[in-house]
Amino acid sequence: MTCVLAVTWLARPGEEERITQILRTMVESTNREPGCVQYEANRSDENPLRFFLYEVYRDEAALEEHQRSEHFQRHVVKEALPLLQSRERVFYRPL
């Protein structure tokens, strides 16, 4: 069953451009994953520190594979997370 993930990142002030670069890299890399249906990153018009990621994976195994990927570990875990004030992840299932 398809797995949907909605993620909100709030960057630390002064880190928003670096987060933008990281997310552009992640969009390109993640959309090439065989289990990725859609991976989209967006930046708020109202608050440039706020980012919204919309992720759809073939199934839970594909999501787990994504989280173990070299690009996720390098760009999200090691680079992006230390630059964030907060990160909220909400999982959804299609009706």
pLDDT tens, residue by residue, 59-69: 999 999 999 99
Residue 29 falls within a domain, yes or no? yes
**What is d(CA 80, CA 11) in angstroms, rounded to the nearest whole number?**
9
Residues of the domain holding 53: 3-87
Whether 22 maps to a domain, the answer reads yes
pLDDT for 13-43, tens place per residue? 999 999 999 999 999 999 999 999 999 999 9
Burial 11-33 (b: 16+ CB within 10 A, else e): beeebbeebeebbebbeebbeeb
Indicate whether 50 belongs to any domain.
Answer: yes
CATH number of the domain where residue 50 is located: 3.30.70.100
Residue 18's H or E segment, with its range, is helix 16-30
How many domains are contained in the chain?
1
Tell me whether residue 42 is in a domain. Answer: yes
Q: Is 12 in contact with 77 (CB distance < 8 Å)?
A: no
